[in-house]
């Protein structure tokens, strides 16, 4: 008897609670809205890469002989044109002197024949022969001088030398490395990015990079070139950026973390909470102010990337439209709404939330239903 009475009493309270809750939630649904605004969007690409010098060359000679003199030290900075090494020169000097003497003799002979030609004492053929001899001697002299220059190694550009690989007296052959010279005034940073970002990449795009070798430092640069083919295995494309290195603190081989901000633009945006995906399509509830009270219209939108909690709107909305961000589950297309101010969620001095009376009544009744 007692059990049956308690059961009936519980059912009665439940019916009263449902009735009260329905009464509390009748009428326009309370929602929060936000206005469609323009925001800055960009494609953020992160990658990893390795630093390479602007120029690098293994210094070699194309003549075989013994090293006579060295004019540099390990790790020395040199200017373009500085003499670094010379091979034995005795034989080459003698050949040069011989070629110069032949040129002087050919020049004197040509001058003599030209004077005789003016008096018609020699034929034109003899004059032509003297000119050919002069030209031939000059050509031989230039060839000898060129071979002499090949015996002297000079810096092809400004840079820093590595360890020298030879000593005075070393017999070197064509192609033997004397030292490595790099130009570190500007560094090349090579990295790969997925091919889906290809349309967002272009020369001149700014990048920022960091390395664990130099913590708390950021290095800025620009994209210089983009490779002409996509890797068919990784589906990525190689990119080369340049980074100024005026303080010479960046070194070849450093591992870098790169952030690339591409395709910057200003577009319409909405909060991500307003989005209602339905299969492959996306909808939002737009506020219709022409009715009293206001209502909502379910509209399809085309969206771009998400950034900082906001999504780029490509189509479906216009600037200054308003969309529902909170309370979406209680409304349908055409539903009447009551737009609440988000300030009601801020705490009062007593620590409670400032809720409207209707919202408070619905909350209390819901708690009563859930209590045992």
Kindly state whether residues 294 and 234 are assigned to the same domain. no
Last residue of a domain, one of 234, 265, 296: 265
| Highest mean pLDDT out of 4-8, 80-84, 137-141, 150-154 | 80-84
Q: Is the pLDDT of residue 102 over 80?
A: yes
Kindly state whether residues 215 and 162 are assigned to the same domain. no
Contact 336, 29 (CB under 8 A): yes
Q: In the structure encoding, which two tokens stand for residue 348, read together? A: 């009062």
CA–CA dist 372, 362 (Å, integer): 18
Classify burial at 84, counting beta carbons within 10 Å of its beta carbon; exposed 0-12, middle 13-18, buried 19 or more: buried
| Alpha helices by DSSP H, the chain | 2-25, 90-118, 124-149, 357-370
Angle at 44 between CA 207 and CA 258, to 5 degrees: 40
Kindly state whether residues 256 and 236 are assigned to the same domain. yes
In the prediction, which pLDDT does 94 show?
A: 74
In the prediction, which pLDDT does 265 show?
A: 86
In the prediction, which pLDDT does 12 show?
A: 42
Kindly state whether residues 363 and 273 are assigned to the same domain. yes
- Rg over alpha carbons for the chain, rounded to the nearest Å, is 42
Classify burial at 329, counting beta carbons within 10 Å of its beta carbon; exposed 0-12, middle 13-18, buried 19 or more: exposed
Q: Is the pLDDT of residue 180 over 50?
A: yes
In the prediction, which pLDDT does 238 show?
A: 94
Kindly state whether residues 194 and 50 are assigned to the same domain. yes
User: What is the pTM (predicted TM-score) of this model?
Assistant: 0.61
Contact 92, 151 (CB under 8 A): yes
Contact 267, 312 (CB under 8 A): yes
Kindly state whether residues 114 and 173 are assigned to the same domain. no
Residue 292 included in any domain: yes
The pair phi, psi for residue 119, each rounded to 5°, is: -100, 10
Task: List b or e across 50-67, with b for residues whose CB sees 16 or more CB atoms inside 10 angstroms.
Answer: ebbbbbebebebebebeb
Collapsing DSSP to helix, strand or coil, 316 comes out as coil
- In the predicted model, what is the mean pLDDT of residues 139-147? 78
The pair phi, psi for residue 105, each rounded to 5°, is: -65, -40
The pair phi, psi for residue 199, each rounded to 5°, is: -70, -15
Residue 257 included in any domain: yes
CA–CA dist 366, 18 (Å, integer): 9
Kindly state whether residues 290 and 236 are assigned to the same domain. no
Distances (CA, A) of 245 to 67, 142, 253: 34, 41, 14
Last residue of a domain, one of 209, 235, 265: 265
Contact 312, 37 (CB under 8 A): no
Between 54-63, 88-97, 129-138, 216-225, the lowest mean confidence (pLDDT) is in: 88-97
Residue 14 included in any domain: no
Kindly state whether residues 289 and 146 are assigned to the same domain. no
At 236, which CATH number? 2.40.30.170
Residue 101 included in any domain: yes
151: pLDDT confidence band, cut at 50, 70 and 90?
Answer: confident
Between 35-44, 114-123, 147-156, 224-233, the lowest mean confidence (pLDDT) is in: 114-123
CA–CA dist 272, 44 (Å, integer): 18
Last residue of a domain, one of 265, 282, 305: 265
Q: In the structure encoding, which two tokens stand for residue 82, read together? A: 């500085």
Q: Is the pLDDT of residue 257 over 80?
A: yes
CA–CA dist 192, 190 (Å, integer): 7
At 102, which CATH number? 1.10.287
Kindly state whether residues 66 and 166 are assigned to the same domain. yes
Residue 11 included in any domain: no
Q: In the structure encoding, which two tokens stand for residue 175, read together? A: 């192609």
Residue 20 included in any domain: no
pLDDT tens figures, 194-205: 998 888 888 988
Contact 189, 240 (CB under 8 A): yes
At 299, which CATH number? 2.40.420.20
Residue 356 included in any domain: yes
Q: Is the pLDDT of residue 19 over 80?
A: no
Q: Is the pLDDT of residue 148 over 50?
A: yes
Q: Which of 260, 227, 224 is nearest to 242 (CA)?
A: 224
Residue 69 included in any domain: yes
The residue segments making up the domain with residue 162 are 61-85+154-177
- In the predicted model, what is the mean pLDDT of residues 258-273? 89
In the prediction, which pLDDT does 253 show?
A: 92
Give the distance, in angstroms, between the CA of residue 286 and the centroid of all CA atoms in the same chain.
38
**Residue 335, preceding peptide bond in cis (omega within 30° of 0):** no
The more confident residue out of 125 and 76 is 76
The count of structural domains within the chain is 4
Kindly state whether residues 201 and 254 are assigned to the same domain. yes
Q: Is the pLDDT of residue 354 over 70?
A: no
């Amino acid at each position: 008897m007692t059990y049956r009475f308690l059961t009936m009493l519980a059912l009665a309270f439940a019916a009263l609670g449902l009735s009260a809750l329905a009464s509390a939630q009748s009428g326009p649904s309370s929602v929060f809205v936000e206005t469609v605004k323009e925001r800055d969007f960009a494609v953020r690409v992160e990658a990893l890469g390795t630093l390479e010098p602007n120029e690098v060359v293994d210094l070699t000679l194309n003549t075989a002989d013994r090293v006579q003199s060295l004019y540099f030290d390990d790790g020395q900075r040199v200017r373009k044109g500085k003499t670094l090494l010379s091979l034995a020169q005795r034989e080459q000097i003698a050949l040069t002197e011989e070629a110069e003497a032949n040129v002087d003799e050919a020049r004197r002979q040509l001058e003599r024949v030209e004077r005789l030609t003016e008096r018609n004492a020699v034929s034109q053929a003899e004059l032509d022969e003297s000119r050919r001899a002069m030209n031939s001697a000059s050509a031989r002299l230039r060839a000898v001088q060129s071979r002499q220059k090949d015996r002297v190694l000079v810096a092809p550009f400004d840079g820093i030398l590595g360890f020298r690989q030879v000593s005075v007296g070393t017999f070197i052959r064509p192609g033997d490395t004397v030292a490595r010279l790099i130009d570190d005034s500007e560094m090349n940073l090579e990295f790969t990015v997925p091919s889906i970002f290809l349309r967002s990449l272009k020369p001149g795009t700014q990048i920022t990079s960091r390395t664990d070798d130099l913590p708390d430092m950021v290095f800025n640069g620009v994209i210089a070139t983009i490779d002409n083919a996509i890797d068919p295995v990784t589906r990525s494309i190689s990119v080369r950026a340049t980074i100024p290195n005026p303080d010479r603190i960046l070194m070849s081989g450093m591992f870098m973390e790169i952030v690339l901000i591409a395709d910057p633009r200003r577009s319409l945006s909405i909060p991500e909470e307003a989005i209602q995906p339905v299969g492959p399509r996306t909808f939002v509830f737009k506020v219709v102010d022409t009715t009293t009270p206001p209502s909502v219209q379910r509209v399809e939108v085309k969206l771009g990337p998400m950034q900082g909690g906001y999504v780029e709107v490509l189509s479906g909305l216009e600037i200054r439209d308003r969309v529902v961000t909170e309370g979406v589950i209680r409304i349908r297309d055409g539903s009447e709404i009551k737009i609440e101010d988000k300030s009601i969620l801020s705490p009062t001095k007593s620590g409670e939330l400032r809720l409207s009376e209707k919202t408070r009544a619905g909350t209390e009744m819901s708690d009563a239903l859930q209590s045992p």
